[in-house]
Amino acid sequence: MDNMVDEEKVNQVVEKGKGGTARRTASAPSAPAPAPTPDRPGYELPLLLFAGFRTLIDRLHAELARQGHPDARPAHGFAMQAIGVAGASASEVGRRLGVTKQAAGKTIDRLVALGYAERADDPADARRKLVRLTPHGLDALARAAVIFEELRAEWTQVLGPDRVRALESDLSAVVPAGGAFRLDAAGWLGGA
């Protein structure tokens, strides 16, 4: 096998010879045994994971639009999760998302303009402003939770419940402890 990087086959492994087919040996049974499924190239794993994620998120947002949230975008969902039901300061939102306070402020401004969030005085600290989700923002999150359950049920119909549970369990096993649901992924959403 050779690693081949060119305009047609970027970062793909190419087998030389007769297409990589299994050869029968003298001790092989007369009926051909099924060929084992070859491992996929390593670069396909993140692409497949991302494609699965993207499929879920795109379907979520199409359904959210149908249900009255046509302006909701994936970044808005992450930001609303970072704000949470108790509210948060712009600095806290930025920290949770791994972006600067200024970048968080721009996203918050957009959420406020769309009616998903509002700014309010912090009752515990008069010097601080809190960002809180509005009923419209809470509705979007509640609808998203229901839609995600429906999408999971669709995957269960296609793959079977045991395989979906195994997939979830396997992914949980390879995600660092405490990292599965962290939003503070510095650098992932535009921050340092």
Two tokens at 94?
């930025």
Q: Which of 4-8, 27-31, 35-39 has the highest mean pLDDT?
A: 35-39
Half-sphere exposure in the Cβ direction for 125 (13 Å, CA): 6
Close Cβ partners of 102 (under 8 Å, ≥ 6 residues apart): 94
pLDDT tens per residue, range 163-186: 999 999 999 899 877 654 555 554
Paired sense of beta strands 12-14 and 2-4, if any? antiparallel
Question: CA 82, 84, 88 angle in degrees (round to 5)?
Answer: 75
CATH code for the part of the protein at 72-173:
1.10.10.10
The confidence score (pLDDT) of residue 30 equals 62
pLDDT tens per residue, range 39-68: 999 999 999 999 999 999 999 999 999 999
Whether pTM exceeds 0.75? no
d(CA 142, CA 130): 21
Report the DSSP beta bridge partners of residue 166: none
Q: Where are the domains of the chain?
A: 72-173
The confidence score (pLDDT) of residue 140 equals 97
Per the CB < 8 A criterion, the answer to whether 108 and 131 are in contact is yes
State yes or no: pLDDT of 143 exceeds 90: yes
